[in-house]
């Protein structure tokens, strides 16, 4: 099987992304995770740039890596300065790594404008810096900055820059689409020229400004590149870098090209989410392969075919990359979406019977009123369960009254008084809160806590209100979405009304009812597991 080395630059180019700043501790955690994943190279940062990156290389010495080689990043020496006198080059050696990646100019425009030096001096800067680092026994990669733009402007000079790095002894020449604007066929043509011209390995480093970084990386590999640089989740300067969470499965699953150990492919989702968590960013739901929506099916036509043969609407089996199939419920659902959900919940369903048609019609009507069941799985499951003969409501509302008081220089105050029925008992209770929904939540929990002691483990994670028809001003219908959690799971519920309190009550009551139902299911499952184990 042909193979490609994966070179990760999340800790360097990834941190050049707007909104990302990793602490030294974060960088160490990510480096360990990437090593576990089997990446070949991890670029830890630019030690000549800042104390944090220098500290990272110092602290990482006490960790050992199973798979990856750590690389330090830097530039070629400054013009008219010997490599050994250049602070940035000295910092590369001081970092203690065995692999250095230096970037150098290959576009004549950059030499004259950015560096303000001569074309000949730039070639000497490249050659000297590589050979100096090689003389210290390092593996040296040359990142040929702006190589594709440079080649388009002045092919002879761009190739001369590669040759200077080769003469210095570079181990791999990495062609960079620094401005990220090249097209796949340009990449193919130019990589092929470099591969033919130079007898040392070629790599690719593509930016995503034309949204083609992954395509360009794959094209470069198909044209002879043997090292693919990129970042986890595509983080990087401006629009980002080639996303390794797409590059790796594309190489493996579409082209049969070996990268990380095959068995680690199934950890791709977990790794992607881990890195976004450490970077304090929400995972991108729509990210190919690893996003939660990557295998989420909504249209009834799709789900119908999928149930017959998953290949009809999935380009790969989701489990190959550690993802899973999801079916969404909405006004675009058909009977097949319901069938899938009933199976998922272990509920019986007669496709030909009247119940499915009635529920489907109800969902479509409720969505027309503004409900959204996608993301509100709690409300949807309750709707399905209520249609079953054996469903018993855990509680029902008999009446509720709210008082809100606002006085100058005092925080707003709210009190909820509710009458709740549980079986044949009626509980009448009151509670305060800092707002009406908070007071309602407290009153409901107070009323239910003696019947359902587990209610204390449920907490509100998020509460969102969306106005559905702005033109009606303060009289518009609103949709309330509540996200509730119990420390292990979280679930969404929804309510819609022209009255924000009523919409909030619907979402809140569903969130508690669904939490109680979930708790009941977990208890049932664990007692059946215990009895199966003979306990």
Rounded Cα–Cα distance for residues 39 and 203 (Å): 15
Select the residue interacting with ligand CC(=O)C(=O)O from 77, 127, 205, 481 (CB under 6 A). Answer: 205
DSSP 111: I
Tokens 């030690």, located at residue: 47
Rounded Cα–Cα distance for residues 442 and 194 (Å): 69
Q: Does 55 bind ligand ACO (CB under 6 A)?
A: no
Rounded Cα–Cα distance for residues 344 and 394 (Å): 22
Applying the rule CB under 6 A, the residues between 104 and 143 that interact with ligand ACO are: 104-105, 114-115
Size of the site for ligand ACO (CB under 6 A): 15
Q: Are 400 and 440 within 8 A, CB to CB?
A: yes
Rounded Cα–Cα distance for residues 165 and 125 (Å): 9
Residues in the chain: 535
Q: Does 300 bind ligand ACO (CB under 6 A)?
A: no
Q: Residues 347, 352, 353, 354: is their CA dihedral positive or negative?
A: positive
Stretch 87-106: interaction string toward ligand CC(=O)C(=O)O, x if CB under 6 A: ----------------x---
Select the residue interacting with ligand CC(=O)C(=O)O from 27, 207, 297, 442 (CB under 6 A). Answer: 207
Select the residue interacting with ligand ACO from 10, 75, 287, 330 (CB under 6 A). Answer: 75
End-to-end alpha-carbon separation of the chain, Å? 50
Q: Are strands 5-8 and 296-297 parallel, antiparallel or unpaired?
A: unpaired
Taking CB atoms, the residue at the shortest distance from ligand CC(=O)C(=O)O is 176
**Partner touching 78 among ligand CC(=O)C(=O)O, ligand ACO, none, CB below 5 to 8 Å by kind:** ligand ACO
Rounded Cα–Cα distance for residues 380 and 394 (Å): 16
**Partner touching 207 among ligand CC(=O)C(=O)O, ligand ACO, none, CB below 5 to 8 Å by kind:** ligand CC(=O)C(=O)O
Q: Does 52 bind ligand ACO (CB under 6 A)?
A: no
Taking CB atoms, the residue at the shortest distance from ligand ACO is 49
**Partner touching 205 among ligand CC(=O)C(=O)O, ligand ACO, none, CB below 5 to 8 Å by kind:** ligand CC(=O)C(=O)O
Shortest Å, Cβ 145 to ligand ACO: 5
Render 208-267 in DSSP notation, one character per residue.
-TTS-HHHHHHHHHHTT--EEEEBGGG--STT-B-BHHHHHHIIIIIH--B-S-GGGGGG
Q: Does 209 bind ligand ACO (CB under 6 A)?
A: no
Between helices 335-344 and 354-369, what is the axis angle to 10°? 100
Q: Does 76 bind ligand ACO (CB under 6 A)?
A: yes
DSSP 13: T
Select the residue interacting with ligand ACO from 39, 57, 103, 342 (CB under 6 A). Answer: 103
Stretch 111-150: interaction string toward ligand CC(=O)C(=O)O, x if CB under 6 A: --------------------------------x-x-----
Q: Output the six-digit token pair for 24.
A: 């030294």
Rounded Cα–Cα distance for residues 64 and 255 (Å): 32
Q: Does 190 bind ligand CC(=O)C(=O)O (CB under 6 A)?
A: no
Query: What are residue 20's phi and psi, to 5 degrees?
Result: -115, 125
Q: Are 42 and 29 within 8 A, CB to CB?
A: no
Query: What are residue 96's phi and psi, to 5 degrees?
Result: 80, 5
Q: Which of 298, 303, 271 is nearest to 6 (CA)?
A: 271
Q: Which stretch binds ligand ACO (CB under 6 A): 44-52, 183-191, 259-267, 517-525?
A: 44-52
Q: Which lies closer to ligand ACO via its Cβ, residue 83 or residue 418?
A: 83
Q: Which lies closer to ligand CC(=O)C(=O)O via its Cβ, residue 73 or residue 463?
A: 73
Size of the site for ligand CC(=O)C(=O)O (CB under 6 A): 8
Q: Are 394 and 508 within 8 A, CB to CB?
A: no
Select the residue interacting with ligand ACO from 8, 26, 145, 381 (CB under 6 A). Answer: 145
Q: Does 182 bind ligand CC(=O)C(=O)O (CB under 6 A)?
A: no
Centre a 10 Å sphere on the Cβ of residue 276 and count the other Cβ atoms it contains.
19
Shortest Å, Cβ 189 to ligand ACO: 22
Q: Does 13 bind ligand CC(=O)C(=O)O (CB under 6 A)?
A: yes
Q: Does 441 bind ligand CC(=O)C(=O)O (CB under 6 A)?
A: no
- Using CB atoms within 10 Å of the CB of residue 485, give its burial: 0 to 12 exposed, 13 to 18 middle, 19+ buried: middle
Q: Which lies closer to ligand CC(=O)C(=O)O via its Cβ, residue 21 or residue 457?
A: 21
Rounded Cα–Cα distance for residues 149 and 130 (Å): 22
Applying the rule CB under 6 A, the residues between 3 and 32 that interact with ligand ACO are: 16
| Contacting residues toward ligand ACO, per CB under 6 A | 16, 46, 49-50, 75-76, 78, 103-105, 114-115, 145, 178, 237
User: Which chain residues interact with ligand CC(=O)C(=O)O by CB under 6 A?
Assistant: 13, 103, 143, 145, 176, 178, 205, 207
């Amino acid at each position: 099987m042909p193979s490609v080395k994966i070179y990760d630059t999340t800790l360097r180019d990834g941190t050049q992304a707007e909104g990302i700043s990793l602490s030294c501790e974060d960088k160490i955690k990510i480096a360990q995770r990437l090593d576990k994943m089997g990446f070949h190279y991890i670029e830890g940062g630019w030690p000549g740039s800042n104390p944090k990156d220098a500290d990272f290389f110092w602290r990482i010495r006490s960790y050992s890596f199973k798979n990856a080689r750590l690389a330090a990043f830097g530039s070629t020496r400054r013009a008219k300065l010997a490599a050994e006198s250049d602070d940035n080059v000295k910092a590369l050696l001081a970092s203690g790594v065995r692999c250095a990646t230096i970037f150098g100019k290959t576009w004549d425009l950059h030499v004259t404008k950015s560096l303000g030096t001569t074309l000949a001096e730039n070639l000497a800067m490249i050659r000297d810096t590589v050979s100096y680092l090689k003389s210290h026994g390092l593996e040296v990669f040359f990142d040929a900055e702006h190589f594709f733009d440079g080649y388009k402007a002045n092919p002879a000079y761009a190739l001369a820059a590669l040759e200077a790095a080769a003469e210095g002894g570079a181990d791999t020449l990495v062609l960079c689409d620094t401005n990220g604007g090249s097209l796949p066929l340009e990449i193919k043509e130019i990589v092929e020229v470099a591969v033919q011209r130079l007898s040392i390995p070629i790599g690719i480093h593509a930016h995503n400004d034309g949204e083609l970084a992954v395509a360009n990386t794959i094209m470069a590999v198909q044209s002879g590149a043997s090292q693919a640089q990129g970042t986890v989740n595509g983080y990087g300067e401006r629009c980002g870098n080639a996303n390794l969470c797409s590059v790796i499965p594309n190489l493996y699953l579409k082209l049969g090209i070996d990268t990380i150990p095959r068995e680690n492919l199934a950890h791709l989702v977990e790794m992607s989410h881990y890195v976004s968590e450490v970077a304090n960013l929400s995972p991108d739901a729509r990210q190919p392969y690893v996003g939660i929506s990557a295998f989420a099916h909504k249209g009834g036509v799709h789900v119908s075919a999928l149930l017959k043969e998953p290949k009809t609407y999935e380009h790969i089996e989701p489990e190959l990359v550690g993802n899973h199939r999801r079916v969404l419920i909405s006004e675009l659902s058909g009977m097949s979406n319901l069938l899938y959900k009933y199976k998922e919940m272990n509920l019986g369903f007669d496709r030909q019977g009247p119940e499915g048609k009635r529920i489907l019609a109800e969902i479509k009507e409720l969505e027309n009123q503004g409900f959204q069941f996608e993301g509100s799985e709690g409300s949807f499951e309750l709707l399905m369960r209520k249609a079953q003969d054996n469903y018993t409501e855990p509680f029902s509302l008999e009446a509720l009254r709210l008082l809100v008081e606002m006085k100058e220089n005092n925080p707003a105050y709210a009190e909820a008084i509710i009458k709740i029925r549980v079986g044949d008992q009626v509980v009448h209770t009151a509670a305060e809160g800092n707002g009406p929904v908070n007071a309602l939540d407290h009153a409901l929990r107070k009323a239910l806590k003696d019947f359902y002691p587990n209610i204390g483990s449920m907490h509100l994670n998020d509460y969102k209100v969306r106005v559905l028809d702005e033109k009606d001003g303060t009289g518009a219908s609103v949709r309330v979405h509540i996200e509730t959690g119990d420390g292990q799971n979280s679930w969404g519920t929804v309510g819609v009304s022209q009255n924000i309190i009523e919409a909030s009550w619907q979402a809140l009551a569903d969130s508690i009812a669904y939490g109680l139902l979930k708790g009941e299911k977990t208890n049932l499952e664990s007692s059946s597991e215990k009895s199966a184990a003979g306990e």
